Every structure is written in C-alpha cells, then in structure tokens.
Amino acid sequence: MPSHIKTIKGSLAIVGLGPGLREYMTPRAMKAVAKAEYVLGHSTYLAPLEPLLAGKQVISSSMGKEVDRAKQAIDLARSSHVAIVSGGDAGVYGMASIVLEVLEHEGVEIPVEVIPGVTAANAAASRIGSPLSGDFAVISLSDLLTPLEVIEQRLDAIFTLGIPVVLYNPKSRGRPHNLGLAIGLARNHLGPETPVGIVKNALREDEAILVTTLGAMDESIDAVDMHTTVIIGGKESRIWRMGDDVKGIITPRGYHRKYVY
Amino acid sequence: MPSHIKTIKGSLAIVGLGPGLREYMTPRAMKAVAKAEYVLGHSTYLAPLEPLLAGKQVISSSMGKEVDRAKQAIDLARSSHVAIVSGGDAGVYGMASIVLEVLEHEGVEIPVEVIPGVTAANAAASRIGSPLSGDFAVISLSDLLTPLEVIEQRLDAIFTLGIPVVLYNPKSRGRPHNLGLAIGLARNHLGPETPVGIVKNALREDEAILVTTLGAMDESIDAVDMHTTVIIGGKESRIWRMGDDVKGIITPRGYHRKYVY
C-alpha cells in the first residue's frame, strides 16, 4: 500500500463514567475502557477504574489541561484504541466538545463514539428525592470560560421563571463568591422557604447531603466545595418530609392539579 | 408481636433504566430489578428487562395511569421488595415525584431508593456530538400537567438567553402543534443557521438521527414523534462537520477564546 494513503487503525471513545462508583457506570462505558489500549483522564475519575486498567497505558492528568489532553488522545487514536474519560456525562462540562473541536480542526477521520453517563444533576437529584421532576436548567458557576455577567444574566432569567436550577462548579478556590452571588439573585425572585439541596460527592465515597432553604442557606454556604452539586428549587418545589424528618425535595409534576390522592 | 405495630418488611426502588438498551443501564438499576419481587412499569420499558424478570410479578401498565401505579407500588412495598421503573432517569419527567408525593401523603415509612439513569437529554446529545457542553435547559412540550402559556413563557426566556434547549415530549397525538410553536419562538431570538438535532429512539432499536437547522426545520417537523428528543442549539452552537459530512452539533465550551488549537 503506498505510504501516502493515511490508514486509521485506531478509535476514540469519549466516555462518561457517571458519578464515580462502578455500580453507576454503564456496561457500555466499562466496555470502552476495557477495549482501550490508552486511557486518558483526570486521576480522580481513573481511580475507580483501577481493576480494568491492568496492561493499559494510563495517562492521568490534572484539571486545566483539557486542550492538551484532547490533542494527545487524537494523536494516539490514529493508530490505537483510545478512551478519554470524564466524570458524569462527557457531554456536560466534560471532554466531549473540546475533543470534537480539535478533531474537526485537525481534519482526522477517526471512528469516534460519545458514550453518555449519569450526569451530576441526576446523580445529586436522586439523593434528595425528586427536585428535577419537571423543567429545569443546568448552569455552571465557573467563570473560567464564561464571563460572570453572562452567568448572572442566565441565573436571573431562570430564577424569574421559577424552574429548578442545578449549579455545577458552585465553588472553587478561584471563585469563592459566585455561589453567594447566585443565592442573592435567587432571593430576588423566590421565597425564603424555597428548598435548596447540597450534595457533595453524590454516589461516591464521602457523600454528604444537606437539604436547607434559600432563607437559611447562608449557614450552609461553607459546606459547598468543588465536588458539590447545588440544586435550587423552583416556585413549586417544596421540602419532602416523613413525620418530622426532612427527607429531601419534591418538585411536583402537577398531578395534584388533576387527581385526588 | 401485637398486631397494631406496623412492621414494614418491604422496600421500594424507583429505578431509572436509561435510554433502553441494557448496555446503558447501570448495574445498580439492574440489581434493584433483580432483587424485586414485584416490578411495575410501562410495558415499553419492561421489554429489555425480560431476562431479569423470570419468577417475578410483573405489573405492566399504559401511559397515563401514573397515580394508580404509584399507589399500587407503595401498597405492595409494605410487605415486598418492589421496583417501579421509568425510562431514562426516574427523576426527570419520570415516576419519582409522584411516588414520593403519594408516599408522603400516606405517611408510610418504607425504605425508598431513587436510582438515577442516563436521561434522554444526555442519551440524545451523545448521538449528535456535544450539543449540551455548557449551560442548558430541559423543557417538556407536554401541556397535560403544565399550561401551554407557561411552557411558552419558559421557552421564550431561554431562547432569549441563547443557551441550548432539550425538548422532551416534543409531539404526540394530543398536541401536534406545540413543536411548531416552540420553533416559532426560537426563530424570534436565534438565527436560521442555529443547529437542531432530532434524535428518535436514542440508544434503542430503530434509532434515527437527523441534524438540521432552525431555518430548514419545517421540512423535518414530521419526523418528530413522542419517542423523539429535540435539541435546539444556542447562540454558540454550530454544525460539526468532517469534510463535507454533517456529523452533529458542537456547542463550544469557550476554550477557543483562551487557547489556540
């Protein structure tokens, strides 16, 4: 075969691993990792995969090197089977878009598959009842790639609508005040009894869950870190109780308007 | 033991099965179904579970009987292990909220677990690249439980923001025109080149995928049915191409503003 004909023997899987524990990873995601000769990802996400990684080239990296990691994955995928992994769903604040952008830019025709996973919104919601039963929005408080004024504008519009909001990246060392800002905007449109769920390490080790309200949220703001998902309820959301216990949050779907139960 | 002391020997799992194929169900979801003595759900979602259902009481029902199904699940769960299943994630337009509402109303203290799944937004997105890479909203076009004017108000506000929108329940016999309405509202705020993804039966048998634009969407509106998820891109979304082929949709996360690649 003439050497100027490019033959691609590799493949690229962009894999969403779900919240963390292997019980919540799809078989399809595990299969893609098992098939890969190279596995790339942030070290936090690679740890639960340990038993699957024997005999593979594992390239673990730190946060903030996404573009380099995407380029490296594509280079390797020209001749090898490569899996690049994200926590949650790779298409939601994960590696999918940057990998596809670089792939398009480099014009390489590598077989590519995006494998969805359980994203933090759904993982966190499942731990506090059913706060996202109807319409909702997903907003990241990271102003690394989106200007803060755009984030504020989005939050304000969504709180005005009164639908629940899932906050990704609610806090980190570089932006400790964005959560306070978001809470302030929420209070302009939603009452103090509006439920707020704080889920740290959802369905991972060291999971911690707190259900509070917009009015009492100031006491809990220090409990939020970069591994936390915050869900601010909407106009119809309410605390879910069993006897005197707070069990979580329910956003009713509206059956109570149609049926008696 | 005196008969007036209520003993609960059962349990209730509210299970999200993901898009449909078993490859995309979490092991945790499968375990909950395997453990159950009773499995309740819509027949469409029960079919792929067939091999797991031997020896169980299977109660399959039709759409629109959610309240009855929730009551029945809770009654059975007083003394038996029960799994009530939804497609996708049980917390997103699924059975979780109504089951928890009835449980709270009846004041029964049954051990209950909500098991998250890959919801249609993520399943559909994964089949057309990475349309939901950043902030996005999830809106149902079903006006069965939410008044149409509220749905329109939400859509209008979100299209104004220019973030991608995932439309659940985009069309059914009872509401054939809501999708056209939504497209009309989108056109007030977004250009004709805005990408639209139409994913029917995502990650199930008979999957069909179409990527088009807001401007050309009228030609494709008939392809949408109740098993379809529609993703309308945001201001930054664009068609993803490889050579002359349309491969899907990319919503860039903004790395291009920070890095050269």
Q: Does position B62 have pLDDT exceeding 80, yes or no? A: no
pLDDT of residue A184: 98
- Cβ-nearest to A138 among B97, B104, B135: B135
Give Cβ neighbours of residue A4 (< 8 Å, ≥ 6 apart). none
Question: In degrees rounded to 5, what are phi and psi of residue A247?
Answer: -100, -25
- Cβ-nearest to A26 among B118, B140, B258: B118
Q: Is B229 helix (H, G, I), strand (E, B) or coil?
A: strand
Q: Is A248 helix (H, G, I), strand (E, B) or coil?
A: strand
What DSSP state is assigned to residue A127? T
Q: Is B46 helix (H, G, I), strand (E, B) or coil?
A: helix
Rounded to whole angstroms, how far apart are CA atoms A55 and B179?
50
The rounded mean pLDDT for chain B is 93
Q: Does position B1 have pLDDT exceeding 50, yes or no? A: no
Over residues A219-231, the mean pLDDT reads 95
- For residues A117 and B126, the answer to whether their CB atoms sit within 8 Å is no
Query: Lowest mean pLDDT: which of A154-158, B18-22, B203-207, B240-244?
Result: B240-244
Chosen from A12, A99, A161, A251 to mutate, greatest number of chain B CBs within 10 A: A161
Q: Which residues of A touch B163 (CB under 8 A)?
A: 137, 154
Q: Quickly state the pLDDT bin for B243 (edges 50, 70, 90).
A: confident
Q: Which residues of B touch A163 (CB under 8 A)?
A: 137, 154
What DSSP state is assigned to residue B99? H
Question: In degrees rounded to 5, what are phi and psi of residue A196?
Answer: -130, 130
Q: B93 vs chain A: nearest CA distance in angstroms?
A: 5
Helix or strand (DSSP H, E) at B74: helix B66-77
- Cβ-nearest to A250 among B97, B122, B136: B97
- For residues A99 and A73, the answer to whether their CB atoms sit within 8 Å is yes
pLDDT of residue B158: 98
Rounded to two decimals, the pTM is 0.95
How many Cβ contacts (< 8 angstroms) between chains A and B?
Answer: 249
Specify the higher pLDDT residue, A244 or B82. B82
Helix or strand (DSSP H, E) at A43: helix A43-46
Chosen from A100, A104, A135 to mutate, greatest number of chain B CBs within 10 A: A135
How would you list the strands of the sheet with A238-242, edge to edge? A129-130, A245-250, A238-242
Q: What residue of A is the nearest CA neighbor of B167?
A: A135
Percent of chain A past pLDDT 90, that is, above it, reads 82
The rounded mean pLDDT for chain A is 93
pLDDT of residue B64: 67
Rounded to whole angstroms, how far apart are CA atoms A229 and A120?
7
Percent of chain B past pLDDT 90, that is, above it, reads 82
pLDDT of residue A175: 81
Give Cβ neighbours of residue B3 (< 8 Å, ≥ 6 apart). none
pLDDT of residue A256: 72
- For residues B23 and B41, the answer to whether their CB atoms sit within 8 Å is no
- For residues B201 and B209, the answer to whether their CB atoms sit within 8 Å is no
What DSSP state is assigned to residue A88? B
Q: Is A46 exposed, middle or buried (0-12, 13-18, 19+ CB in 10 A)?
A: buried
Q: Is B98 helix (H, G, I), strand (E, B) or coil?
A: helix
Over residues B126-135, the mean pLDDT reads 98
**Cα of B168 vs its chain's centroid, Å:** 7
Over residues B139-160, the mean pLDDT reads 96
pLDDT of residue B76: 97
Please give the C-alpha separations between residue B252 and each of A94, A100, A107, A213, B238, in angstroms, as whole numbers.
11, 9, 17, 34, 8
Q: How many CB atoms neighbour CB A10 within 10 A?
A: 19
Q: What residue of B is the nearest CA neighbor of A127?
A: B114
- For residues B94 and B17, the answer to whether their CB atoms sit within 8 Å is no
Give Cβ neighbours of residue A138 (< 8 Å, ≥ 6 apart). A92, A121, A165, A166, A168, B135, B136, B137, B138
Q: Which two tokens stand for residue B165?
A: 């929108």
Query: Lowest mean pLDDT: which of A43-47, A131-135, A178-182?
Result: A43-47
Is A91 in contact with B16 (Cβ distance < 8 A)?
Answer: no
In this structure, is the dihedral angle defined by the CA atoms of residues B117, A116, A165 and B157, taken in order, positive or negative? negative
Q: Is B223 helix (H, G, I), strand (E, B) or coil?
A: helix
Q: What residue of A is the nearest CA neighbor of B251?
A: A97
Rounded to whole angstroms, how far apart are CA atoms A136 and A251?
10
Q: Does position B3 have pLDDT exceeding 50, yes or no? A: no
Sort residue B18 into left (φ over 0), alpha (ψ -120 to 50) or beta. left
Over residues B196-206, the mean pLDDT reads 96
Q: Which residues of A touch B119 (CB under 8 A)?
A: 119, 122
Range list of β-strands (E), A92-244 = 112-115, 129-130, 136-140, 165-168, 195-200, 208-213, 228-232, 238-242
Rounded to whole angstroms, how far apart are CA atoms B150 and B170?
15
Rounded to whole angstroms, how far apart are CA atoms B242 and A148?
33
Rounded to whole angstroms, how far apart are CA atoms B113 and B155?
32
Q: Does position B196 have pLDDT exceeding 50, yes or no? A: yes
- Classify strands A208-213 and A245-250 as parallel, antiparallel or unpaired: unpaired
Is A161 in contact with B157 (Cβ distance < 8 A)?
Answer: yes
Q: How many CB atoms neighbour CB B235 within 10 A?
A: 14
